Amino acid sequence: MAKSSADDGELRRACDAAIEDPKQKIVMALRVAKSHGILGKSSKLGRQMAKPRVLALSIVGDDVVFAAAKSKGQRTSAFLRVLKYSTGGVLEPAKLYKLKHLSKVEVVANDPSGCTFTLGFDNLRSQSVAPPQWSMRNIDDRNRLLLCILNICKDVLGRLPKVVGIDVVEMALWAKENTPPVSAQNKVRDGGPVASVVRETELKVNVEKELVSQAEEEDMEALLGTYVMGIGEAEEFSERLKRELQALEAANVHSLLESEPLMDEVMQGLEAATSVVEDMDEWLSIFNLKLRHMREDIASIETRNNNLEMQSVNNKSLIEELDKLLERLRVPSEYAASLTGGSFDEARMLQNVEACEWLTSALRGLEAPNLDPSYANMRAVKEKRADLEKLKSTFVRRASEFLRNYFASLVDFMISDKSYFSQRGQLKRPDHADLRYKCRTYARLLQHLKSLDKNCLGPLRKAYCSSLNLLLRREAREFANELRASTKASRNPTVWLEGSAGSGQNVNATDTSTVSDAYAKMLTIFIPLLVDESSFFAHFMCFEVPTLVPPGGVVNGNKTGYDDDDDDLGILDIDENDSKSGKTSAELEALNKSLKDLLDGIQEDFYAVVDWAYKIDPLRCISMHGITERYLSGQKADAAGFVRDLLRDLESRISMQFNRFVDEACHQIERNERNVRQMGVLSYIPRFATLATRMEQYIQGQSRDLVDQAYTKFVSIMFATLEKIAQTEPKHADIFLFENYAAFQNSLYDLANIVPTLAKFYHQASEAYEQACTRHISMIIYYQFERLFQFARRIEDLMFTVPPEEIPFQLGLSKLDLRKMLKSSLSGVDKSIATMYKKLQKNLTSEELLPSLWDKCKKEFLDKYEGFAQLVAKIYPTESIPSVAEMRDLLASM
């Protein structure tokens, strides 16, 4: 531990600065080591983890106040402060203890040096935690601190704490021996008058404030002086002790001899008392036996009494339970009458529903866990359950039979009334509002029938589907027939690309939009109707599936037209999250099966409309396909399974009819190749442009893929047929190809800019056109200037094996041969070029292509001649030929 002193003024000043309280004065400050011991165990471990601390004793006020309080008996506050060193070595307050709560000062016995002690305070929250142990540098520092604490407790607080492990007298003697004289030098060294006062106060505490006062010490000496022991001579003292011992022994023997008669009397009294006690013990044994028998009798009586009371309570409870059970088993007469023979008229439905609710609750009340298991095997309960089952089967049978007849009668009434259906000259929108209203009356009855017997719903669903299917098919058939009869449209030609027809045939189609409008009207009327019927059926027949369309909802952006609140059956919608996936899938499967029974057969009337529209205008399949796709994309509900299947079948039917038209058109194209001779632009090229324009006008929604597939098939067959026809006349094949490819580009230029699929085929035709033009132009140039370019080709071939300077010495390639060839080829070159122009014009049927072809021909000739001139300049540098510029001017002048 660092060097410390009880008179360390610098340490006290540091403590003053740390507490920053001018009202408190530091009386003493010492450096100590803090450790924690364990209650009842050695504190060596705590000593190994000691932390440096400073203990400071402080009082409120100055020394004058302290002295006045000491003389007048006033109570003054005194504190024990614990200060610790911060990171920078500066003291800072850690803990504060009030000395008035100091109850114990104990020196640790495990420390042989005696420098470790603990201070016990009676206001600490947790007395189970060992107080900290404070270790001093030496005994003097320990005594100095403890003596100061004890003096302050005595003078300021008026009491002393308990002191354990140290002798108070030794501390008083140490205080006398270690009281240093007060000198003026100390006063000066301590820093002036204030420090002098503090130092004098400390000396007074150490010297004057002793544990035994002077008066008490004098009284003790006087008391000890009154007793003269006379132990000057050891032999005399020994003789004195012997004489006193003998006198004491003689006195004891004399007293014993004198007390013998008294002892005899005492013994006689004891014997008499023993006899009385023995008699009393015998009587008590007898009484104890009688009392034990009485206790056993009383216990038996109490047991029988308790059993009787328990039996009485149990009998009362049993009677109450039996009354409750009888009440549960009793069938109210009004409910029994409704269940066994009541009417199912609309006015009686409330009583029937209440009877169903009672029957359902009664059956559930006789099932676990609503019924105690001990009641389940009672004969009365079994008989009553059998009676309720009979009531249930009777009511379910009667209600099912009534509903089957009721559904059939409703539909028969509507079918017999022709005003419900479309008639000649009048399209009638199907209206099921009255039908749903009447059915809704029995919606809650169906719910209760399901809870009573789920198997009874199967026949009821079939009966409903069978009856309503007749009505829906009759409505669809009458509507479709009148729709076709009232739609006026001229038929368009189905032969669009027939090759045998003249190119001037009029292929402009008449307006057939009324056909697709009629199909759209059919879907607009019946698809929402079928969706609503599916939704109503799913709710009405108690299928546990998600809702289909909200009442008065919107289907595909179109108002359903059935916003009459008929779908509101008073039935709660089933939450998908509350139903198990397996149960929901089974319900959906059963619903789709029932919907097929409900709506099956109605698709034939839709097919009839599609086939009728195809016969009038096959291209209307495109717009009908888009309309169908739009409706199909809007059917997302699980209960609309059959409607989705119907729309898919319609889409497949439309695609099949359109593909049939495409196949027939492709066969028309392929028949062109069987003609003996084909010249000029084939007729199906411009007709395809007209057909594509018309097809683009019919595209709606998602029918783009259908049209693009048709384009791909058409153009593939067209190009393949072109190539096959060209192979039949190899001499004029290139002319035939580039004329047709040019016609294809010219006719589809506008459409190719907006249709990506046609743009792809446009570029394909452009490439084929360029290739055919290049082959034909090259053939004409080589035909007219064959010797010139053959000479150039021979030079190019030899340049791979012979150095350029040796080529003029090869056979047939001498300068003389060059001059002969130039004379024969370039003499009268203007006539040769004119002949080449005539050949280009000779077999060309499309005159509008001639200018561009002639420009390509001149460019091709100049490129070839320029290559020839470069070869001549390299191989025959001394020979002169017409320059490229001269040749270009000659071509430009023609």
Q: Is 689 a member of any domain? A: no
Q: What's the rounded mean pLDDT across residues 633-648?
A: 74
What's the pLDDT score for residue 54? 92
273 falls in which pLDDT band (50, 70, 90)?
very high
Residues 55 and 134 in one domain: yes
Q: What's the rounded mean pLDDT across residues 180-200?
A: 42
Write the CB contacts of 34 (distance below 8 Å, at least 6 apart in sequence).
Answer: 50, 51, 52, 53, 82, 132, 133, 134, 135
Q: What's the rounded mean pLDDT across residues 779-791?
A: 77
Alpha-carbon dihedral angle through residues 26, 29, 33, 35, given to the nearest 10 degrees: -30
Q: In angstroms, rounded to a whole number, what is the distance separating the alpha carbons of residues 651 and 632?
A: 9
Q: What's the rounded mean pLDDT across residues 450-468?
A: 83
- Boundary-marking domain end, from 125, 155, 178: 178
pLDDT over 90 (residue 306): yes
Q: Which two tokens stand for residue 892?
A: 């430009």
Mean pLDDT check: name the lowest of 408-412, 676-680, 820-824, 856-860: 676-680
**Cβ-contact 83, 92 below 8 angstroms:** yes
Cis peptide preceding 808, ω within 30 of 0: no
Q: What's the rounded mean pLDDT across residues 92-109?
A: 88
What's the pLDDT score for residue 308? 92
pLDDT over 70 (residue 197): no
Q: Is 407 a member of any domain? A: no
pLDDT over 80 (residue 553): no
Handedness of CA 154, 160, 164, 168 (dihedral sign): positive
347 falls in which pLDDT band (50, 70, 90)?
low
Q: What's the rounded mean pLDDT across residues 657-663?
A: 88
CATH for 105: 2.30.29.90
- Rounded alpha-carbon distances, angstroms, from residue 561 to 17, 87, 476, 526, 627: 93, 86, 17, 10, 18
Mean pLDDT check: name the lowest of 568-572, 755-759, 800-804: 568-572
What's the pLDDT score for residue 45? 42
**Cβ-contact 694, 512 below 8 angstroms:** no
Residues 98 and 12 in one domain: yes
Q: Is 85 a member of any domain? A: yes
Number of domains the chain contains: 3
Q: In whole numbers, what is the pLDDT of the chain averaged over residues? A: 76
Q: In angstroms, rounded to a whole number, what is the distance separating the alpha carbons of residues 701 and 619?
A: 15
**Cβ-contact 610, 618 below 8 angstroms:** no
pLDDT over 60 (residue 605): yes
Mean pLDDT check: name the lowest of 167-171, 226-230, 452-456, 798-802: 226-230
204 falls in which pLDDT band (50, 70, 90)?
very low
Note every long-range contact of 242-249, with CB atoms under 8 Å and residues 24 or more positions apart, other chains counting: none
What's the pLDDT score for residue 656? 92
Within 417-512, where are the H helices?
A: 433-440, 443-452, 457-486
640 falls in which pLDDT band (50, 70, 90)?
low
What's the pLDDT score for residue 563? 42
At 601, give phi and psi (nearest 5°). 100, -20
Q: What's the rounded mean pLDDT across residues 594-615?
A: 87
Q: Using DSSP, state whether 120 is helix, strand or coil.
A: strand
- Boundary-marking domain end, from 159, 178, 197: 178
Mean pLDDT check: name the lowest of 137-141, 300-304, 438-442: 438-442
pTM above 0.95, yes or no: no
What's the pLDDT score for residue 123? 79
The helix (H) or strand (E) run that includes residue 79 is strand 78-85
**Cβ-contact 557, 634 below 8 angstroms:** yes
Q: In angstroms, rounded to a whole number, what is the distance separating the alpha carbons of residues 279 and 273?
A: 10
What's the pLDDT score for residue 331? 65
578 falls in which pLDDT band (50, 70, 90)?
very low
Q: What's the rounded mean pLDDT across residues 464-485?
A: 87
Nearest alpha-carbon partner for 738 in 715, 772, 775: 772
- Boundary-marking domain end, from 660, 675, 692: 660
Q: Is 207 a member of any domain? A: no
Mean pLDDT check: name the lowest of 85-94, 346-355, 766-775: 346-355
212 falls in which pLDDT band (50, 70, 90)?
low
Residues 656 and 742 in one domain: no
What's the pLDDT score for residue 329? 62
What is the per-residue pLDDT across 397-415, written as a single tens digit (0 to 9) for each? 888 888 888 888 888 888 8
Location of structure tokens 């130039």: 822
Residues 629 and 748 in one domain: no
What is the per-residue pLDDT across 53-78, written as a single tens digit (0 to 9) for each? 999 998 885 554 445 445 545 557 88
pLDDT over 80 (residue 752): yes
201 falls in which pLDDT band (50, 70, 90)?
very low
694 falls in which pLDDT band (50, 70, 90)?
confident
Nearest alpha-carbon partner for 576 in 670, 510, 639: 639
Q: Is 673 a member of any domain? A: no
What is the per-residue pLDDT across 705-751, written as a single tens digit (0 to 9) for each? 888 888 888 888 888 888 888 777 777 777 788 888 888 888 888 88
Residues 653 and 771 in one domain: no
Nearest alpha-carbon partner for 647 in 555, 538, 567: 555
Q: In angstroms, rounded to a whole number, what is the distance separating the alpha carbons of residues 766 and 745?
A: 7
Note every long-range contact of 490-496, with CB atoms under 8 Å and residues 24 or more positions apart, other chains counting: 490/616, 491/615, 491/616, 491/617, 492/616, 492/617, 492/618, 492/619, 494/618, 494/661, 494/664, 495/668, 496/665, 496/668, 496/687, 496/690, 496/691
What's the pLDDT score for residue 326? 61
Residues 871 and 768 in one domain: yes
What's the pLDDT score for residue 836? 78
What's the pLDDT score for residue 274? 92
Percentage, residues of the chain above pLDDT 90: 6
Q: In angstroms, rounded to a whole number, what is the distance separating the alpha carbons of residues 630 and 345?
A: 44
Q: Is 652 a member of any domain? A: yes
834 falls in which pLDDT band (50, 70, 90)?
confident
Residues 634 and 746 in one domain: no
What is the per-residue pLDDT across 139-184, written as a single tens digit (0 to 9) for each? 888 888 888 988 888 887 778 888 888 877 777 788 888 876 544 3
pLDDT over 50 (residue 505): no
349 falls in which pLDDT band (50, 70, 90)?
confident
Residues 648 and 741 in one domain: no
CB atoms within 10 A of CB 607: 15
What's the pLDDT score for residue 307? 92
**580 DSSP 8-state letter:** -
Q: Is 534 a member of any domain? A: yes
pLDDT over 70 (residue 376): no
116-121: strand order across its sheet: 91-98, 78-85, 51-60, 24-36, 132-135, 116-121, 102-107, 162-164
Residues 155 and 23 in one domain: yes
pLDDT over 90 (residue 277): yes
What's the pLDDT score for residue 82? 92
Residues 604 and 737 in one domain: no
pLDDT over 50 (residue 130): yes
pLDDT over 50 (residue 193): no
What's the pLDDT score for residue 94? 87
Greater pLDDT, 224 or 395:
395
What is the per-residue pLDDT across 217-262, written as a single tens digit (0 to 9) for each? 676 666 655 544 555 567 887 887 888 888 888 777 777 777 778 8
Residues 628 and 740 in one domain: no
Mean pLDDT check: name the lowest of 469-478, 604-613, 837-846: 837-846
Q: In angstroms, rounded to a whole number, what is the distance separating the alpha carbons of residues 811 and 208?
A: 152
What is the per-residue pLDDT across 508-548, written as a single tens digit (0 to 9) for each? 557 778 888 888 888 888 888 888 888 888 888 888 776 54
Residues 24 and 173 in one domain: yes
Mean pLDDT check: name the lowest of 95-104, 268-277, 851-860: 851-860
- Domain span at residue 486? 418-491+513-549+583-660
**Cβ-contact 591, 641 below 8 angstroms:** yes
Greater pLDDT, 303 or 451:
303
Q: What's the rounded mean pLDDT across residues 67-95?
A: 75
Q: What is the rounded end-to-end Cα distance, in angstroms, of the chain?
A: 125
Cα 69–Cα 122–Cα 4 angle in degrees, nearest 5:
65
